[in-house]
Amino acid sequence: MDMKNKVLVSVVSAVGLAALVAGCGTVSGASGSNGSSSSNVITIGTLYASTGSYATSSMPEYAGLTFWANQVNAQGGVTLSNGKKEKVKIVSMDDQSNATTATTEYNQLITQDKVNVLVTDFGSVLTAPAVPIAQEHKVVLFDQSGTGSNFFTPTNKYIVLTSLQESTLWADSLAQDLIKNNTKNIAIVYADNDFDGTQNNTVVSQLAKAGIKPMIDESVPTSTSNYTTIVHNIDQKNPGAIIELGYQPNDTAFLQAYKASGVKVPIVFTIFPGQLPAIFESQFGASGLAGVSTYPTPPFINVQNVNYGMNLTQFESAFKSAESSLPGHPTGPINFLDVAGYNTGLIIQHTLESAKSLSQSNLRAAVDTFSGKITTLDGNFQINSEGAQVGEALPTGHFVYQNGKLSMVVDAN
Amino acid sequence: MRKQTTIDLSISLVLVLAFVALPHFYSNLTILFMMAMYMVLSQGVNLLYGLTGYMPFGYVGFFGAGAYGFSIALQHLHFPIVLALIFGVLFTSLVGVILSPLLRLSGAYFAIGNLATSQVIYGIVANSHLQGITGGGDGVDISQYFNQTASYYVMLAVLLVVMVGIIWVKRSSFGLSLQAMRDDSVSVAMSGVNVVRNRMLVWLASAAIAGLCGAIYAWFISFFYPSSVFDVSIGIFAIVFMLFGGQGTIFGPVIGTIILYGIYNVIGVSTPQYFQLAYGVLIVILVMFLPNGVLSLFKRGRRAHGRVLESRPNF
């Protein structure tokens, strides 16, 4: 290139850079600031994954949150502590299950869209990028389902886990169930990520207290899509239980290998059939899930004494009739992640109602005022001093197939 | 030649100064950081592929190794940030040395082998048996060192150094020997050039660039899982940006990153379906009509202009 061309390229690049940067993220932009709302609208910034490995979990959660926003707005909005009603507006961006993209978008929601409330995408991997950014900008992070124990530290005052217990607590009921049944020859296979690794640690340590040592305790890459060899290797040792801890794609791949192998083990446990039963039913049929153990969640668990928001029956009915207006147009029976998204909305709503102002410190302080006092369709909402969820306990249960119908029997609380 | 080098250096300086000024007008530092990071990464790919012809499909392996080397230095060796960055680079270079037998392969075999080794590194880092060192699947939390502003400016400094380095390599006899090796390594070796040493140097330099990027990225986000820093799409983006702008050129990777990463952030985030279609079509058009990248358009224009002048009647 000669000098003339170089100058031309430089000028075009500079103009392009400025134009592109100016245009970044404006498509889903919203007005307002982190400290106050404008135009009587409170902005709720969130991410979702329409594609990629977390899409099947992220989209129902997003639909649940959107459902809550629509419900609140239909009633005129959220009643703030000053008596004023303000509507809510979801400002959302698609991270496509990519943590790098999520990093950019969380920053966009905070610094450009200046949302009043920040809500994470599904799971720990897509929550992790938001944790330091929110802390740095002193924005409260409403963490829907990122249960990684690393997120909750005494130095971080800006995180609240809304819809699931911290992952170290998840496996308590599973371990107690195994101990109670005096299960021998336990084989554990877990995906090497924070969510599954911490559950494995909990099970192993609880079993150790009861004098039980799993005969197999192995990790596999989270990207594992074929468990055939693993299942056959475990079968050689005559297991009494196989505990497979993974994300939904891991659970599907494991159950496929287990069913195809013809191996029969008294207890087979996986996590996600209890949260996303429709997906697993479509993959294995209702009869194919019979006997599979899992963590039953709403709608399998019908929480009693709900004192905030809809109960399960009301939610099922209202959600089904609103399906066509929700992102992803969910069909079929509701699942736990629909409930989790709605529950996050309820926690945000109660926070806004209780807070003295919309400043982030007041929002965070407001959460503490009702922690342990409200019960939603997801259970008793209770956080510890680090913002980790310690209520909303998960029991264990197993699927039963009778008279052409799939149901759940709860084993241990 | 000297004048040309001065112009190239000036443009590089202006580019970096533009990035220094941009945060005053636009506060999403992540987008700016990522753009600068991809420019550096694309230059790293450019160094290896553009000058030697080795396509590193598993380039993200070095990126992830740098991120983990940096984190280990902070968490276990308690190094200060600067030393930890250097450690990250050295650690990545060591990985580069270990993987150097890959250079015995060429073409598609090298590309696939490189991709496979990146996944092997990922598997090793994420393995629960190394949890005490790497954190395994639990990921890495170095949020006590979180400082987006400082990491952004360090990335800009690296961008400037890498640009200067690329300009030097392109103009030097070393760079010419690399390009000659790419075209016919046997003839070059017979001319007295140490092909193996030169290839190794470029391989390690390219690995060090990716490692340094990974280390600064780890500092920038400070909370990550193995899947975040060994995400194959990071390496693929760097390759596509370099190819789009123009392989083997000084500013091709910069132009490619500005255009494609800019488009990605403008429409890719809001309407990923259309974006993927647009990206796919763009790449097909690029391969069919502009195999040497966008910058080749200017070269063509210049040649055509030259032909017009030559054919003009001499009155």
Residue with tokens 């297991």: A239
- Between A70-74, A100-104, B287-291, the lowest mean confidence (pLDDT) is in B287-291
Domain with CATH 3.40.50.2300 in chain A: 29-167+302-381, 169-300+395-412
Q: Is the peptide bond before A299 cis (omega within 30 degrees of 0)?
A: yes
Nearest to B30 among A93, A103, A198 (CB): A103
Contacts of B262 in chain A (CB under 8 A): 16-17, 19-21, 23-24
Distance CA A276, CA B68 (A): 34
Nearest C-alpha of chain A: how many angstroms from B27? Answer: 6
What pLDDT does B28 receive? Answer: 87
What pLDDT does B304 receive? Answer: 61
Give the other-Cβ count within 10 Å of A260's Cβ: 11
Per the model's pLDDT, the better-predicted residue between B302 and B72 turns out to be: B72
Inter-chain touch A13–B22, beta carbons under 8 Å: no
Nearest to A198 by CA among B15, B136, B221: B136
Residues present in chain B in total: 315
Inter-chain touch B223–A150, beta carbons under 8 Å: yes
Nearest C-alpha of chain B: how many angstroms from A104? Answer: 5
Nearest to B137 among A1, A22, A192 (CB): A192
Per the model's pLDDT, the better-predicted residue between A223 and B58 turns out to be: B58
Inter-chain touch A135–B269, beta carbons under 8 Å: no
Contacts of B255 in chain A (CB under 8 A): 9, 13
Nearest C-alpha of chain B: how many angstroms from A305? Answer: 36
pLDDT in tens, B61-94: 999 999 999 999 999 999 999 999 999 999 999 9
Nearest to A5 among B127, B221, B298 (CB): B298
What pLDDT does A38 receive? Answer: 52
* pLDDT over 60 (residue A15): no
Inter-chain touch A8–B298, beta carbons under 8 Å: yes
* pLDDT over 50 (residue A237): yes
Q: Angle at CA B285, nearest 5°, toward B279 and B287?
A: 100
Inter-chain touch B32–A21, beta carbons under 8 Å: yes
Q: Which CATH architecture has domain B2-253?
A: Orthogonal Bundle (1.10)
Phi (first) and psi of residue B142, to 5 degrees: -120, 35
Q: Mean pLDDT throughout B147-164?
A: 96
Mean confidence (pLDDT) of chain B: 88
Inter-chain touch A21–B22, beta carbons under 8 Å: yes
Inter-chain touch A1–B299, beta carbons under 8 Å: yes
Strand locations in A69-202, DSSP E?
A: 78-79, 85-94, 117-119, 141-143, 159-161, 186-191
Nearest C-alpha of chain A: how many angstroms from B294? Answer: 10
Inter-chain touch A128–B34, beta carbons under 8 Å: no
Distance CA A126, CA A147 (A): 11
* pLDDT over 60 (residue A33): no
Contact A309, A72 (CB under 8 A): no
Nearest to A108 among B28, B126, B263 (CB): B28
| Structure tokens, B29 | 């530092």
Look up the CATH number of domain A29-167+302-381. 3.40.50.2300
Nearest C-alpha of chain A: how many angstroms from B189? Answer: 30
Contacts of A104 in chain B (CB under 8 A): 28, 30-31, 34, 265, 269
Distance CA B242, CA A295 (A): 47
- H-helix segments, chain B: 2-21, 29-45, 51-52, 60-75, 81-98, 107-126, 131-134, 148-171, 173-190, 195-221, 226-229, 232-245, 252-263, 272-289, 295-311
Contacts of A194 in chain B (CB under 8 A): 137-139, 225
Mean confidence (pLDDT) of chain A: 88
Helix, strand, or coil (residue A42): strand
Contacts of A190 in chain B (CB under 8 A): 128
Nearest to B200 by CA among B61, B92, B52, B46: B52
Q: Mean pLDDT throughout A102-126?
A: 93
Inter-chain touch B28–A104, beta carbons under 8 Å: yes
Nearest CA in chain B to A133: B221
Contacts of A105 in chain B (CB under 8 A): 269
* pLDDT over 60 (residue A168): yes
Give the other-Cβ count within 10 Å of B185's Cβ: 18
Distance CA A134, CA A364 (A): 12
Domain assignments of chain B as residue spans, ordered by start: 2-253
Inter-chain touch B143–A25, beta carbons under 8 Å: no
pLDDT in tens, A337-347: 999 999 999 99
CA B169: distance to chain centroid?
A: 15
Contact A163, A340 (CB under 8 A): yes
* pLDDT over 60 (residue A135): yes
Q: What is the ipTM of this complex?
A: 0.77
What pLDDT does A39 receive? Answer: 61
Inter-chain touch B148–A131, beta carbons under 8 Å: no
Q: Mean pLDDT throughout A395-405?
A: 91
Give the other-Cβ count within 10 Å of A235's Cβ: 17
- Between A21-30, A270-279, B174-183, B216-225, the lowest mean confidence (pLDDT) is in A21-30
pLDDT in tens, B246-294: 888 999 999 999 998 988 887 766 666 677 777 778 778 877 888 778 8
Contacts of B269 in chain A (CB under 8 A): 25, 27, 93-95, 101, 104-105
Distance CA A178, CA A213 (A): 12
Inter-chain touch B228–A99, beta carbons under 8 Å: yes
Which residues touch A351 (CB under 8 Å, ≥6 apart)?
A: A117, A363, A366, A367
What pLDDT does A222 receive? Answer: 84
Query: Best mutation site among B2, B5, B14, B143 for testing chain A: the one with the most A CBs within 10 Å?
Result: B143
CATH topology of domain A169-300+395-412: Rossmann fold (3.40.50)
pLDDT in tens, A255-267: 999 999 988 999 9
What pLDDT does B262 receive? Answer: 87
Contact B231, A99 (CB under 8 A): yes
Inter-chain touch B28–A24, beta carbons under 8 Å: yes
Inter-chain touch B301–A94, beta carbons under 8 Å: no
Query: Best mutation site among A136, A192, A386 for testing chain B: the one with the most B CBs within 10 Å?
Result: A192
pLDDT in tens, B208-245: 999 999 999 999 999 898 988 999 989 999 999 999 89
What pLDDT does B271 receive? Answer: 67
- Between A11-25, A301-315, B86-100, the lowest mean confidence (pLDDT) is in A11-25
Nearest to A207 by CA among A246, A242, A174: A174
Contact B295, A9 (CB under 8 A): yes
Nearest to B31 among A24, A150, A196 (CB): A24
Nearest to B57 by CA among B115, B118, B121: B115
Confidence of residue A13 (pLDDT cuts 50, 70, 90): low
**Which DSSP state fits A245?**
E
Alpha-carbon torsion angle A172, A175, A180, A184, nearest 10: 180
Inter-chain touch A25–B131, beta carbons under 8 Å: no
Query: Best mutation site among B31, B232, B254 for testing chain A: the one with the most A CBs within 10 Å?
Result: B31
Instruction: Sort strands A117-119 and A85-94 into parallel, antiparallel or unpaired.
Output: unpaired
| Structure tokens, B281 | 């079509």
The neighbouring-strand residues paired with A241 are: A186, A267
3-class secondary structure per residue, A184-212: CCEEEEEECCHHHHHHHHHHHHHHHHCCC
Inter-chain touch A21–B11, beta carbons under 8 Å: no
Query: Between chain A and chain B, how many beta carbons pairs sit less than 8 Å apart?
Result: 190
Nearest C-alpha of chain B: how many angstroms from A126? Answer: 9
List, as own/partner pairs, every contact residues B14-18 make where C-beta atoms lie below 8 angstroms and the sequence separation is at least 24, other chains included. Answer: B14/A10, B14/A14, B15/A10, B15/A13, B15/B159, B15/B163, B15/B254, B16/B156, B16/B159, B16/B160, B16/B163, B18/A14, B18/A17
